[in-house]
Structure 1
Amino acid sequence: MDKIIHGPITKDEAKSLKAGDYVYITGKIYTARDAAHKRMKEALEKGEGLPFNIKNNMIYYMGPSPAREGRPIGSAGPTTASRMDKYTPELLDLGMGAMIGKGKRSQAVIDSIVKNQAVYFAAVGGAGALLSKCILSSKIIAYEDLGPEAIRELEVENFPVIVVIDSMGNNLYEMVMKQ
């Protein structure tokens, strides 16, 4: 079933989504990959805040290529989500509403998704050039020294994703394997 949501995502929206749903996101999402997640973890350990309000927001695991002339961003495909698994439960406990990436997640992340009534979306790997066309604006908001791994705030319109793990823990990858 196709659904449209606006970022940030509400708990009610997250709970309404089911594994296998096609979703189009419009609004704000944030990017962060390995190095940015490590920095956020270090900031939290020092008692510092995060560089953006994580409550109900979505993190897209993506490091873009340089923007072409006239475009806000270059190719913007997802990266492997499992690399962020060691950081994810803490961010979910702080209120993160959703993640966008590709690939499987650990059981600890799945348990935290259920506990926090969040959702994990997959974006299509290899389609970064097409996905970038859904990005209206991109601005670096933290860790600029990390280059493509800096945290960015994106404004997206009809950004296509698929619900892989819903707030009840249903996992599309496992469902397909059983079929």
Structure 2
Amino acid sequence: MNEREESVRRLVYPFDKEKLSLLRAGDSVLITGTIYTARDAAHKRLTEMLDRGETLPFSLPGSIIYYVGPTPEKPGQVIGAAGPTTSYRMDSFAPRFLDLGQAAMIGKGQRSAEVAAAVVRNGAVYFAAIGGAGALIAKSIAAAKVIAFEDLGAEAVRQLEVVDFPAVVVLDSIGNNLYESGPASYLQQA
């Protein structure tokens, strides 16, 4: 392994294009700062708000949206298990959000060619969080509050304050894709 592969990069919100341009597919990161949650139903409503010219409940430029529907918190907890949901369900919405300035997305799984192109076009990043590790990920969430669509329950839009939220860069701002390069690298080593 080289030095780059062994290090973990720390990212502190706000995230600008210059910071994101330094990340490469395969980089491990620890994110600290404000991120927002939104899944399918919330993305649909946010898109409808944009179509009507309404102000969104958070500012898209520079934002990170985490695709998660957390479980209810137990007494004394900030949030319940908060593992990522499958990202392709947001693929029809993501290019528009990225074109409006969203900096990054966190989820799990492959993204469409349209999303990958929008990531590059906008100097953005797609991070993957570890599926099945929702209880562990929740430990990096210091605060959570619903800011829109409370009627959606777990799928409501939340503002999260995170400290050392673990993720891996899957799509970087120059077009590298870990889901393509990772298996190819593994096969070359075999």
* TM-score bin (small chain): over 0.9
2:112 to 102, 106, 116: 106
2:16 to 10, 14, 25: 10
8 A Cα contact 1:7 1:58, kept in partner: no
Determine if the alignment matches structure 1 residue 172 to structure 2 residue 178.
yes
Letter in 2 for 1:5: L
Name the counterpart of 2:3. none
Name the counterpart of 2:43. 37
Name the counterpart of 2:129. 123
2:28 to 10, 22, 26: 22
Superposition TM-score, scaled by structure 1 size: 0.98
Name the counterpart of 1:134. 140
Runs of 4+ residues over 4 Å off in structure 1: none
Percent of residue pairs identical:
56
Distance 2:107 2:115 in 1: 13
Q: Is there any run of 5+ residues in structure 2 with no aligned partner, and where? A: 1-6, 186-190
8 A Cα contact 1:98 1:120, kept in partner: yes
Letter in 2 for 1:57: S
CA offsets 1:6-37 (integer angstroms, 9 cap, x no match): 12311111101000000000010000000000
Q: Aligned-pair distance for 1:47?
A: 1.3
SS at match of 2:159: strand
Distance 1:99 1:128 in 2: 17
SS at match of 1:28: strand
* The structure with more radius of gyration: 2
1:48 to 45, 51, 54: 54
CA offsets 1:59-83 (integer angstroms, 9 cap, x no match): 0000000001111100000000000
Letter in 1 for 2:24: K
Name the counterpart of 1:58. 64
Q: How many residues align?
A: 179
* The 10-residue stretch of structure 1 (129-138 or 49-58) with the greater mean CA deviation from structure 2: 49-58
Determine if the alignment matches structure 1 residue 81 to structure 2 residue 87.
yes
Q: Is there any run of 5+ residues in structure 1 with no aligned partner, and where? A: none
